[in-house]
């Protein structure tokens, strides 16, 4: 029996598929607060960096390494998310970074096929014991470039990565071969749904051709035992101080009352 937010079946599914969609992981009130605060947060937009895809279209993101006491930190440090990640990775995790993906209407670019461990390997993580929790802030569908997963691809191990536009992507020959054998899943989400995915799962997203934005908050975690052997632009093991899930609404209410939205992002950083 699992002790935590996820059922044994969800844990099994994550290990089988390399990802897990959790519908309504966050309730309407939590999401309304996050949406309102994030969209009014000028620091989020001002610190966003744009990365061109292979076709030259730009996707923006705003990234920070250490979670604070604001609503973004309350989500990333919240027991619901952290305990789920600990169930899936099989032990203590720490916060590796969080980022808001800002895919703007009509212009937001694609994210090329990649594994997150394709990047994070270079940061001195010896094992692919990392996973991310993507939380849909806006509704995400095919038209506005929802995230896509190649089911079971985490079992392939780490693939070579190279440069495509400003982005790092997985070897296209291997991606093509994998696509002929594995199921492609478009993770269409309503606000508050979450997609939790393994560091070796091949994923991508298309451009936003719609009139609607597609923002999502992605919180990434490394297993404590996978402390990198060298320093990089993302943190080494830093104990994560968990918060009760009620902290999300409390942080949201506080920000709304002050109407000054704490800047989660520090300076823009690389993935
Ligand atoms: O948000 C997206 O569209 C893609 C995000 C992604 O691939 C990543 O953060 O690794």
Beta-ladder partners of 64: 98
pLDDT band at 269 (very low <50, low <70, confident <90, very high): very low
Look at the chain and report how many structural domains it folds into: 1
For a substitution probing ligand 1, which of 218, 234, 269, 271 has the most ligand atoms within 8 Å of its CB? 218
Beta-ladder partners of 11: none
43 phi, psi to nearest 5 deg: -65, -35
Q: Mean pLDDT score of the chain, rounded to an integer?
A: 93
Residue 13 lies inside a defined structural domain of this protein = no
- pLDDT tens-digit profile of 44-60? 878 788 888 888 888 88
Residue 44 lies inside a defined structural domain of this protein = yes
Residue 246 lies inside a defined structural domain of this protein = yes
For a substitution probing ligand 1, which of 63, 101, 108 has the most ligand atoms within 8 Å of its CB? 101
Which tops the pLDDT comparison, 75 or 270? Answer: 75
Residue 14 lies inside a defined structural domain of this protein = no
CATH number (domain holding residue 43): 2.60.120.620
- pLDDT tens-digit profile of 185-244? 999 999 999 999 999 999 999 999 999 999 999 999 999 999 999 999 999 999 999 999
Q: Which of 216, 167, 162 is nearest to 189 (CA)?
A: 216
pLDDT above 70 covers a percentage of the chain that reads 94
Residue 268 lies inside a defined structural domain of this protein = no
The residue segments making up the domain with residue 113 are: 26-258
The structure's pTM equals 0.94
The residue whose C-alpha atom lies closest to atom 10 belonging to ligand 1 is 116
In whole angstroms, give the CA distance from residue 13 to residue 7: 10
Residue 7 lies inside a defined structural domain of this protein = no
For a substitution probing ligand 1, which of 99, 111, 128, 145 has the most ligand atoms within 8 Å of its CB? 111
The residue whose C-alpha atom lies closest to atom 8 belonging to ligand 1 is 116
Over range 124-128, report the average pLDDT: 98
pLDDT above 90 covers a percentage of the chain that reads 82
All residues at 6 or more sequence positions from 245 whose CB lies less than 8 Å from its CB, including other chains:
78, 79, 80
Residue 38 lies inside a defined structural domain of this protein = yes
- Say whether pLDDT at 262 is over 70: no
């Amino acid at each position: 029996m699992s002790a935590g937010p996820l059922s044994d079946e969800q844990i099994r599914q994550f290990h089988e598929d390399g990802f897990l969609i959790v519908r309504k992981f966050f309730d309407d009130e939590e999401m309304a607060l996050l949406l309102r605060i994030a969209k009014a947060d000028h620091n989020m937009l001002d610190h966003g960096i744009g990365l061109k895809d292979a076709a030259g279209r730009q996707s923006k993101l705003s990234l920070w390494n250490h979670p604070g006491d604001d609503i973004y930190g309350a989500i990333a440090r919240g027991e619901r998310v952290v305990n789920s990640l600990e169930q899936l990775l099989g032990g203590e995790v720490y916060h590796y970074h969080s980022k808001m993906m800002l895919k703007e209407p009509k212009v937001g670019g694609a994210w090329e096929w990649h594994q997150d461990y394709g990047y994070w390997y270079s940061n001195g993580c010896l094992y692919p014991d990392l996973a991310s929790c993507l939380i849909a802030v806006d509704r995400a569908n095919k038209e506005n470039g929802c995230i896509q997963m190649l089911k079971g691809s985490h079992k392939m191990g780490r693939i070579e990565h190279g440069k495509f536009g400003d982005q790092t992507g997985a070897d296209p020959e291997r991606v093509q071969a994998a696509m002929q054998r594995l199921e492609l899943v478009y993770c269409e989400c309503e606000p508050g749904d979450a997609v939790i995915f393994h560091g070796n799962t091949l994923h991508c997203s298309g451009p936003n051709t719609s009139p609607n934005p597609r923002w999502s908050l992605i919180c990434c975690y490394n297993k404590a035992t996978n402390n990198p052997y060298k320093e990089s632009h993302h943190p080494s093991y830093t104990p994560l101080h968990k918060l009760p899930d009620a902290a999300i609404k409390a942080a949201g209410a506080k920000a709304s009352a002050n109407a000054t939205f704490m800047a989660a992002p520090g300076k823009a950083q690389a993935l």
